[in-house]
Amino acid sequence: MPEDDEVKKKLWLEIAINLLKQGRNVNEVINLTKESKVVKIEDLLPHFNEKIKIEDFKDEICESLKGYSQEIERLKRQMESYSSNAEQLKNELRTIKSRCVEIDASNKCEECMKSLFNEEFYIFPCMHGFHRECLLAAVKLQPASDRDKIDKIETCIKELDGMRQRLQQKKKAASTKENTGGFFAGWSLFGTGR
């Protein structure tokens, strides 16, 4: 209903402006706008004429400023909270990026019980390890109600595979570029024996 509030505000503001133009008492107009609950004193300020004294609406100005001050403080606390959360997330990401796990060569897949090192595998923080395909197969055996989760996992795996392929292509392109020899590729450092 925001449109209704905007229409209400326009109507109340028009009423207040007309009352001011008729020379009505400022306090009467201010009380009328307080009654509306949509028009604020700052909406009326541009419409006051120069004959109106600030003493007539000083309390309303102070009240309005106090409200803005409280809103600013609330927003400041909210920003501090967001900054704190962002910093905490950055720290957690740094920790995750630098985390490593030592795996014994005898570790086996919890699903098929074969050596983990035969295929691509995942190690969880609890130190349980699974081959990628074994883990996918186990997840697919879950109830049909979890199908959307399974689809999401498969999508993430496809994205990971795509990223791996692009990374390998970049590495291959970089090593090919290094092996071409660059500018000096056609020159022999020890002469050609001519």
Name, of 17-21, 58-62, 165-169, 178-182, the range with top average pLDDT.
Answer: 165-169
* Residue 12: φ, ψ to 5°: -65, -40
Q: Note the pLDDT tens digit of each residue in 151-162.
A: 887 888 888 888
Q: Note the pLDDT tens digit of each residue in 48-60.
A: 877 777 777 788 8
Give residue 82's pLDDT: 94
Candidates 153, 128, 129; CA nearest to 141 is: 153
Q: Which two tokens stand for residue 4?
A: 């209704």
Q: Note the pLDDT tens digit of each residue in 73-122.
A: 999 999 999 999 999 999 888 887 777 778 888 899 999 999 988 888 88
- Contact 102/115 with Cβ under 8 angstroms? no
Give residue 182's pLDDT: 52
Element (H, E) at 128: none
Distance CA(6)–CA(10), nearest Å, equals: 6
Candidates 30, 5, 2, 27; CA nearest to 16 is: 30
Distance CA(13)–CA(38), nearest Å, equals: 9
HSE-up of 95 (CA within 13 Å, CB side)? 6
- Contact 109/130 with Cβ under 8 angstroms? yes
Residue 61 pLDDT greater than 50, yes or no: yes
Domain regions of the chain by residue span: 2-96, 116-178
* Residue 123: φ, ψ to 5°: -115, 130
β-strands 121-123, 129-131 pairing = antiparallel
Give residue 145's pLDDT: 67
Candidates 160, 103, 152; CA nearest to 132 is: 160
